[in-house]
Amino acid sequence: MTDHSSQSNLNNWKTANHDIDWTINFDTRTISGYVVLHLENVEETATVCLDTRDLSIKSAKLLSNTTEENAKSQELKFVLHQPDSFKGSRLEIALPGQASVGSVVRVQVNYSTSPQCSALQWLAPEQTSGKHLPYLFSQCQAIHARSLLPCHDSPGVKATYSAVVRADSRLEVLMSAARMGSEPDNESAYRLHRFRQSVPIPSYLIALVSGHLVSRPLSDRCAVWSEPEMIDDSHWEFQETEDMLQAGESLCGPYRWGRYDLLVLPPSFPYGGMENPCLTFVTPTLLAGDRSLASVVAHEIAHSWTGNLVTNATWEDFWLNEGHTVYVERLVCEKLYGSPDRHLAMLEGWHALRDAVLVARKPDDPLTCLVPKLDGVDPDDAFSSVPYEKGSSLLYYIETLVGKDAMLGWLRAYVDEFAGQALNTEQWRSFLLDFMAKKSPEGLAKIQANVDWGAWFNKPGLPPVSIPDGLDRSLADACTQLAKDWLDDARQDLSGFTADAFAQLSTKQKILMLDELLHCEQPLPHAKLARMAQIYSLQAVKCSEVKFRWLRLAAKHRYPDAVDEGLKFLATVGRMKFVRPLYRELFSWPAAKAKAEEHFKSRRQFMHPITAEMVARDLAKA
Ligand SMILES: CC/C=C\C/C=C\C[C@@H](O)/C=C/C=C/C=C\[C@@H](O)CCCC(=O)O
Ligand SMILES: [Zn+2]
């Protein structure tokens, strides 16, 4: 298997387990310690080559298989190669001799991270809600784990892990693993925390957080964690978590991870959610006050099967993780909120796909293929809504061909077949066709007659089938009509527009209505924007998704208030889904560019390193 995003010799070894020992130093903003890799040779070699980025390697040792002999463990020679433009530096460790197939070695690497570690954001107390203790959190997907520990940093490599983490005794420490207790550290003023992840996971799912954290139970197996200041709102917002988990189990089988906890992070967290096993990380922008954005939790729950159990072998097959997870997310939400909600979500998703393909990129951009070539491409640069929405559209299209019962039967069989494994798109297609041949020959015939695999997998731009054409629009029509009224009304007098038409829409409908306006090329005069802002109170709206769309719409039509309002919003959120499009719109507006550039440069030090890097790349292209 070739993973263009890794420089390790992962094909020579099977990684069984990582033993991690970390000490967190908030003063130097580094983590120091070691990792022991338990490796079984699968192809003869005399080296262990690992992915690293910005790590300071102290030593490498070959551990004996008995603890008594460890004292005599053998120092190993190593070379840390020059860094690649985005893959980091290969760590080449020389073994004392050729390792033969089937032999097992335990290699310990002692190292420390850099303050510039791309997987970590260090927050000073003033950047937290509580303002009196520091905070640290990780984000490893796609290829940032290598800045946290030397490893075979590829999603096709799955291993268990154990961890011992020492930290300031005033702080909690959590990981993407079961908590195995904590105690005062004998040798320091730190507290020592123990963790165990017994389900093999890829390195991108290793996660760490340390801060002033408290928790509230949501069910026997679910809790929500956050800083004390956010725990009440978080506990209310995510009350549906256990229901979503049970809905996921009814679709995909038993939940295999033990606990399902949620962590609500500080505003700088770059994504809506991250499916770290046992401890999903979510952005505080989900705290809408009406549970309207809880579908992100349904998404992260769905990853417990599609992505975390059944995993893309490389990042070129990212749609296997995200397309399936969006498809399952919307089936989960259908069980909680009904079928019209599922179709409304698919219509909203189609807007996101159009935006990704026609606005953020160009329709012929090879990175808008469902299965892009990533040789020489940083996965962070390739990231977009395409694998999520073109991928889930393909699955929904197949459902319309074979019927929902056959599709749900396939989904469960797919999870059962590939749980614990990683696969690529060709393996996915083979399994689908084999399953249908056995269970639904008529469905197979429809797939073979209608699905143009080459167009779906390898053609840039929108898919060959327009999904919205066949959807239930019962919740969408009011949104589309209101948007059309604003666009088509030629009167000077706008008093006919009242607050009620918008107020009676649900939050999800308001989001769709604003997307209809946003993705229309018709001009929107400033008088209309001013009337809309006034009667819909858009400057004061709490829901981040509504607020973002309003600001983007206003900036797109060069409405002057959008500059200061937009920059004020950008100073409060770190979610790239909002930050990048809004900065891009302001960077593209000649009258606003200098102010937006200055704003970014002044904010950069407080931003997550991934977000800061991606906005800098957007600015360079502006
Ligand atoms: C074709 C793309 C190939 C590889 C990209 C893989 C990872 C990209 C890296 O940037 C990590 C992405 C992590 C995403 C985490 C959560 C998302 O599911 C949600 C993003 C949108 C949101 O904020 O809601
Ligand atoms: Zn996802």
Q: What is the pLDDT of residues 49-98, one digit of tens each?
A: 999 999 999 999 999 876 666 667 899 999 999 999 999 999 999 999 99
Mean pLDDT to the nearest integer, 105-114: 98
**Residue 591 Cα to ligand 1 middle (Å):** 32
Query: Beta-carbon neighbour count of residue 21 at 10 Å?
Result: 17
- Catalytic positions are 300, 388
**Residue 319 Cα to ligand 1 middle (Å):** 10
Which of the two residues, 491 and 525, has the higher pLDDT score?
525
pLDDT band at residue 245 under the 50/70/90 scheme: very high
By percentage, how much of the chain surpasses pLDDT 90? 95
Q: How far apart are CA 126 and CA 473, in angstroms?
A: 46
577 Cβ inside 6 Å of ligand 1:
yes
**Residue 57 Cα to ligand 2 middle (Å):** 33
Q: Which of 110, 2, 98, 90 is nearest to 49 (CA)?
A: 90
- Ligand 1: atom nearest CA of 296 is 24
- Which stretches of 31-141 are DSSP H helices? 67-70
Closest ligand (CA of 312): 1
Specify the pLDDT at position 66: 67
- Let me know how many helices (H) and strands (E) the chain has, helices first: 21, 22
ipTM of the complex: 0.97
pLDDT per residue as tens digits for the range 314-325: 999 999 999 999
Specify the pLDDT at position 363: 80
**4 neighbors 381 (Cβ within 8 angstroms):** no
Q: Which of 177, 147, 166 is nearest to 26 (CA)?
A: 166
**323 neighbors 457 (Cβ within 8 angstroms):** no
201 CB-near residues (< 8 Å, 6+ apart) = 158, 159, 160, 161, 176, 277, 308
Q: Is the pLDDT of residue 142 over 70?
A: yes
Q: Is the pLDDT of residue 189 over 90?
A: no
**145 neighbors 117 (Cβ within 8 angstroms):** no
Specify the pLDDT at position 261: 98
Closest ligand (CA of 5): 1
281 Cβ inside 6 Å of ligand 1:
no
Closest ligand (CA of 300): 2
pLDDT per residue as tens digits for the range 521-551: 888 999 999 999 999 999 999 999 999 999 9
- Ligand 1: atom nearest CA of 270 is 23
Which of 184-193, 498-507, 508-517, 580-589 bottoms out in mean pLDDT, i.e. has the lowest?
Answer: 184-193
Place of tokens 């310690």: 33
380 Cβ inside 6 Å of ligand 1:
yes
- Ligand 1: atom nearest CA of 299 is 18
Residues with CB under 5 A from ligand 2 (ion): 322, 325
H/E element, 427: helix 425-439
**300 neighbors 275 (Cβ within 8 angstroms):** yes
- Ligand 1: atom nearest CA of 575 is 23
**Residue 23 Cα to ligand 2 middle (Å):** 30
Pairing between β-strand 311-312 and β-strand 279-282 as defined by DSSP bridges:
unpaired
The whole-model pTM stands at 0.97
- Ligand 1: atom nearest CA of 387 is 1
226 Cβ inside 6 Å of ligand 1:
no
Specify the pLDDT at position 490: 86
Q: Is the pLDDT of residue 337 over 90?
A: yes
**Residue 383 Cα to ligand 1 middle (Å):** 6
Specify the pLDDT at position 69: 65
Closest ligand (CA of 579): 1
Mean pLDDT to the nearest integer, 307-335: 98
Q: Which residue from 6, 295, 324, 380 has its CB within 8 A of the most atoms of ligand 1, so it is best to mutate? A: 380
Q: How far apart are CA 150 and CA 53, in angstroms?
A: 8
Q: What is the spatial order of strands in the sheet that 208-211 belongs to? A: 120-123, 135-138, 208-211, 172-175
397 Cβ inside 6 Å of ligand 1:
no
Q: How far apart are CA 301 and CA 328, in angstroms?
A: 9
581 Cβ inside 6 Å of ligand 1:
no
Q: What does the mean pLDDT of the chain come to?
A: 96
Q: How far apart are CA 580 and CA 584, in angstroms?
A: 6
**Residue 322 Cα to ligand 2 middle (Å):** 5
383 Cβ inside 6 Å of ligand 1:
yes
Specify the pLDDT at position 523: 86
Q: How far apart are CA 355 and CA 363, in angstroms?
A: 10
387 Cβ inside 6 Å of ligand 1:
yes
Q: What are the chain's domains?
A: 1-114+139-201 (2.60.40.1730), 318-470 (1.10.390.10), 477-621 (1.25.40.320)
**606 neighbors 267 (Cβ within 8 angstroms):** no
Specify the pLDDT at position 71: 65
